[in-house]
Amino acid sequence: MRARTIPLILFGALLAGCAAEPAPEPITITNGQGEIAGEVTADSVILQSRLTTEAVIVDGDVPGAPGVARFELATSGSDDFADAMESPWLDATAERDYIVQTRMTGLTAGTRYVYRLRYGPSQDNTRVGPTRSFSTLPGADGATEVNFVVVTGMNYNPFHADGPRAASPEDKALGYPALETILGKQPEFFVATGDNVYYDVPFGRFERTQTFMRQKWHEQLVQPRFIDLFAEVATYWEKDDHDYRYNDTDNTIDNEPDPSPALGAATFLEQVPVVDPNAANPVTYRTHRVSRDLQIWLTEGRDYRSPNMAPAGPDKTLWGAEQLAWLKRTLLESDATFKILISPTPMIGPDDANQAGRQAEGHDPFKRDNHSNPYGFQYERDAFFDWLEENDFLENDFYIVVGDRHWQYHSVHARGFEEFSTGALVDANSRMGRYPGDPESNDPDALIEQPFTSPEPTGGFLEVTVTPGDAPAAAFRWFDERGALTYETIRTAGM
């Protein structure tokens, strides 16, 4: 039988058709800062990650990487993600610091969700990251126990620098011990009241550029204990002075190199999940109905304030007219058992009366930064307390939780309003506080009652547990960074 011949050109075409597809390019990027679930409601969440080339600090920063990513979300127990919701593909670009954010809706109240990031250099060349999780809020119909923590003062430099209060080598490698303690308590959510990073510490390195400001967030969020905590716990974020512009800042531009108010606000919204990334006019004051027995209010203390040096009086505002009107309206609308206002700065204190070193430098020494300062915004505070009294909030289970101060305390205003200060998260960032009657405080006449203040400088956090039942209760408990209980007080509804 005569052998069949195949033309050379055709033979070459057949070989080409049998050739293997070209191997995809190696994926050299990673999700080095983990993922964050933010601003969880009963039916939505904002998910965030950042694409990087490394999962560690390199030459003082965590280098970002361009690429694409999408989030895949499923109910807990569906770890195969077979029926997952998927976000649109998102571009990680230098303009957005290689951060991807998306808001996902249509979720079920009081439900545990799992999610993961699919990412890579292109949509057809990706890998999936580790499975993360969070819980949606129970909502107004949820008669369930809720446990959450509130923190402030996450100052990186004194923790990582050399000195008598610096961390051990092991803790420097892992991050703040309090974060591990918090994770062990498995709270429903974590509230950061501001001073999440310190742009102005150490002051000599304050370069006043967006690159420098971003680097402060990168070094903070790449710490393993942050990644581990946020892998399982939802978050809410507020900003204060150090993570807006610099210490005790308002919106006045005194020195042209200083970060502008617009840059400070934009960098905060870029670096943590607070508002819908597609919102045209983002607003950072908000309220969340957590459960039948709990509603929280998160206020904005920097964007709308009058100049700190403006004369005290009715025209001086920390909140701004629109936010104050919103706060009053939503408080009146709420039928939650416990109403908790979470403020970046104190309203009762006591606080320092003067700013250290200001008088020696020939400047006005009076502290004017917050609602507890007589030369600051105390007039607005007193008018708000008048309104609260007129509307029976003293008998309506209203409480104030605050950050900013570097010591833990429980204070009671002469009119009966109670304030709970979280104290600094980081032990190396804590200090002794001011007590009622202290001549160096803004309460020299001891008009404030203070059932508790830290007996020694210690880092830690405030845990709040709201329990339903015939007599709903709210427990406020303070812990040091290793988990030792420092103080607790429990409030029963209507009592």
Report pLDDT digits (tens) over 312-327. Answer: 999 999 999 999 999 9
pLDDT, mean of residues 50-61: 96
Q: Which residue has the higher pLDDT, 363 or 41?
A: 41
User: How far, in Å, CA of 462 to CA of 469, rounded?
Assistant: 23
User: How far, in Å, CA of 181 to CA of 170, rounded?
Assistant: 15
First to last CA, the chain: 105
Q: Which residue has the higher pLDDT, 280 or 207?
A: 280
User: How far, in Å, CA of 244 to CA of 228, rounded?
Assistant: 26
Structure tokens at 347: 């309203």
Task: Write down the pLDDT at residue 225.
Answer: 98
State pLDDT tens for residues 212-237.
999 999 999 999 999 999 999 999 99
The closest alpha carbon to 351, from 430, 246, 479, 448, belongs to 448
pLDDT band at residue 362 using 50, 70 and 90 as cut-offs:
low
pLDDT band at residue 363 using 50, 70 and 90 as cut-offs:
confident
Q: Identify whether the C-beta of residue 381 lies closer than 8 Å to the C-beta of residue 372.
A: yes
**Start-end of CATH 3.60.21.70 domains in the chain:** 146-492
In this predicted structure, the answer to whether residue 8 has a pLDDT above a threshold of 60 is no
- Mean pLDDT, all residues of the chain: 93
In this predicted structure, the answer to whether residue 277 has a pLDDT above a threshold of 90 is yes
In this predicted structure, the answer to whether residue 436 has a pLDDT above a threshold of 90 is yes
User: How far, in Å, CA of 80 to CA of 15, rounded?
Assistant: 38
Total Cβ atoms within 10 A of residue 113:
22
pLDDT, mean of residues 387-393: 98
Task: Write down the pLDDT at residue 2.
Answer: 43
Q: Identify whether the C-beta of residue 128 lies closer than 8 Å to the C-beta of residue 120.
A: no
Task: Write down the pLDDT at residue 27.
Answer: 87
pLDDT band at residue 364 using 50, 70 and 90 as cut-offs:
confident
pLDDT band at residue 4 using 50, 70 and 90 as cut-offs:
very low
Q: Please state whether beta strands 146-151 and 338-343 pair in parallel, antiparallel, or not at all (unpaired).
A: unpaired
Place of tokens 């003067």: 354
pLDDT, mean of residues 356-381: 86
**Start-end of CATH 2.60.40.380 domains in the chain:** 35-135
In this predicted structure, the answer to whether residue 1 has a pLDDT above a threshold of 80 is no
180-184, 206-210, 305-309, 490-494: which has the minimum mean pLDDT?
Answer: 206-210
Task: Write down the pLDDT at residue 259.
Answer: 85
CATH architecture of 35-135: Sandwich (2.60)
In this predicted structure, the answer to whether residue 14 has a pLDDT above a threshold of 90 is no
DSSP 8-state class, residue 489: E
What is the percent of the chain with per-residue pLDDT over 70, rounded to a whole number? 93
Task: Write down the pLDDT at residue 23.
Answer: 65
**Angle CA(358)–CA(343)–CA(326) in degrees, nearest 5?**
120
The SS3 assignment for 487 reads strand
Task: Write down the pLDDT at residue 163.
Answer: 82
Task: Write down the pLDDT at residue 207.
Answer: 73
Tell if the pTM clears 0.85, that is, is over it: yes
Task: Write down the pLDDT at residue 200.
Answer: 92
CATH topology assigned to domain 146-492: Purple Acid Phosphatase; chain A, domain 2 (3.60.21)
Task: Write down the pLDDT at residue 10.
Answer: 40
Task: Write down the pLDDT at residue 166.
Answer: 85
Q: Identify whether the C-beta of residue 46 lies closer than 8 Å to the C-beta of residue 38.
A: yes
